[in-house]
Amino acid sequence: MPEALVNRLERLAKQEGTSVPVLIQRLIAEREEREKPSNSATHEVRLPLLPKERTGAVLPVTGADLDEISLAKISLPDVKHR
């Protein structure tokens, strides 16, 4: 760490009446808190849990599955809006 940075940290720690390690921990904690995504930006969607007997085994979707779906000619019924 550059000497100038060490000196500055020592001065700041002395001004705040703390040690350099505690000052560094506080600065890191403040930085992490600022960088967290805000709660308003996150949305948790809960889906109803269905018993395995009703759904069968749930397998992860792979790229091959997506290719097969996109290449398939799926005809969906017309939906009439009310």
Q: Does residue 21 lie in a domain region? A: yes
Question: What dihedral do alpha carbons 7, 9, 13, 15 form, nearest 10°?
Answer: 70
Establish if 51 belongs to a structural domain.
no
SS3 47: coil
Tokens of 45: 């969607």
pLDDT in tens, 22-76: 999 999 999 888 887 765 556 666 777 777 777 777 777 777 777 777 666 565 5
Is 76 contained in some domain? no
End-to-end Cα spacing for the chain? 69
Query: Which candidate, 27, 30, 38, places its Cα nearest to that of 5?
Result: 27
Q: Is residue 9 part of a domain?
A: yes
Residue 56: inside a domain, yes or no? no
Could you give the number of structural domains in the chain?
1
Domain interval for residue 32: 3-36
Distance of CA 79 to the CA centre of its chain: 37
